[in-house]
Amino acid sequence: MTDLPAPLTPAECDLQDFAFMPLHVARLRDSDLAATAHPEACWYAVLLWAAAWHQVPAASLPDDELVLTRLCGLGRDVKTFRRHRKDAMRGFVKCDDGRLYHEVVAEVARGSWAEKLAYRDRRDRRKQAGSEGAKSKWQADDAEAAAEPTAHQTRSARLAAAREKGRHTPEQWAALVTFCGDACVKCKGDDRIVKDHITPIYQGGSDGIDNLQPLCGPCNSSKGPDRTDYRPNGWQMAVGVPATGDEMPSNSQAFGASERLPKGTGIGIGRRKKEKTTHPTFVPRADFERVATVAGLPAAAWTDAEQARLDGWLERGLTIEGDIVPAVQRWLSDPKHDGGTHTLARFDIPIADAVSRKMLPEKPKPTPRAKPVARTGEGDAERAIRARILAESGEHLSQAWIDPIGMRLNGEALHVVAPSQFHADWVTNHFGAALASAAKAVAGSARQISITVGSKAA
């Protein structure tokens, strides 16, 4: 029977994936080790703590002098290690498994190990919940599978089955997205619009336009088996599909005018708010014919879907003559855009560009620079002053600030005229002393400097 204590950390305690070890700085600073030990021994102690942190079990080291010497960074210099061993190994105790454990490091390691086990438990529970959710979504039981034969198929097989029930054209989808304001019909966001099957295809839904609505990625991912139709009223007319009256009611039609909406909506009987929709206003035929003539569309193009598309363009802030017609003309002027389908859908790209141009703020007009002051009447003295400033400040600064000003050396003063107040202030602050020095050197005595604003030197 041994009198050695039990290991201070569990045998399976593994923190090798914990790159950082907590260090109680105040506890170390005020410790006897920091107060009494040789600095070299303190350094070896820290290295041994770090090595113990990534051992298994954590906070332990093997009771091998040569290994401990190497962990201190001393290689095989056991002699130096023995000289500092007492302080470097302070806090380590030998346990009944034959290893050396540091009491403080073990205390921290047990806390980190508990956090790691708790994280594993949360991760496993999330994984199990996700697996159960996926199973409930994609795998029906035997009775449900018999009623819905697509439940156990792959996504490609389900999509093929959905397309046998109904298909949609790219033009129909583009018209629907435009009619819905190029935004998610659920949250009204415009981030990465995707196709959502109102009745999911794994539940037997079709791929026809009557079963599609534009949703953003997050809304589509979180939808689950929900079959709510969020499309605004009138979408059938926008895509050229006749309304049959037996479609699933949209979100705006889900409750009658005399029924109370669900608790929490803030809307009760008699106070139902009218939902804002983007119904086509059916632009005047003259406006449509103007665009159709420029776009080269036939007379048969006068359809509800085309009117709805043009109306959508106008609702985005565009005008017929100012934006739409020029955009169409620029598009058709490019030979590579010649031909194509005879619908307004082919002009969605130039129209989107026109919307972007309209939304961009106008560039501010550059402030005209003041004209340089005329140098009429300047003599050799003024030219000598300019030459001295050029030699002292360099060509770049001299051209920018000295060349535009006018000078006149009269009596006891050097009169400087700047083209603007900003220029005058800048020259005063940055070239005042240089001008005084140059005037003194040229005239032989000090001169007073006066700087004013004008168009020519006095």
Extract the tokens encoding 31: 């410790």
Q: How far is CA 105 from CA 38, 60, 67, 111, 288, in A?
A: 21, 9, 19, 10, 80
**H or E, element range at 46:** helix 39-53
Report the relative pairing of strands 413-418 and 448-453 from DSSP bridges: parallel
pLDDT in tens, 169-191: 888 898 899 888 889 999 888 77
As assigned by CATH, the class of the 155-236 domain is: mainly alpha
Segments of 127-239 assigned E as strands: 193-197, 212-216
pLDDT in tens, 335-377: 776 655 567 777 877 887 787 777 665 555 555 556 676 676 7
Domain ranges of the chain: 1-138, 155-236, 285-359, 380-453
Number of Cβ atoms within 10 Å of the Cβ of 259: 10
Query: Are 155-236 and 380-453 in the same CATH fold?
Result: no
Q: State how far the Cα of 335 lies from the Cα of 370, in Å rounded to an integer.
A: 46
Inform me whether the pLDDT recorded for 282 exceeds 70.
Answer: no
Q: State how far the Cα of 271 lies from the Cα of 251, in Å rounded to an integer.
A: 17
**H or E, element range at 333:** none
pTM of the model: 0.35
Q: How far is CA 184 from CA 169, 180, 200, 228, 262, in A?
A: 20, 8, 17, 13, 22
For residue 193, which phi and psi values (nearest 5 degrees)?
Answer: -70, 130
Q: Give the model's pLDDT for residue 244.
A: 52
Note the CATH number of domain 380-453. 3.30.300.180
pLDDT in tens, 418-458: 888 888 888 888 888 888 888 888 887 777 888 888 776 55
β-partners of residue 60 are 101
**H or E, element range at 346:** none
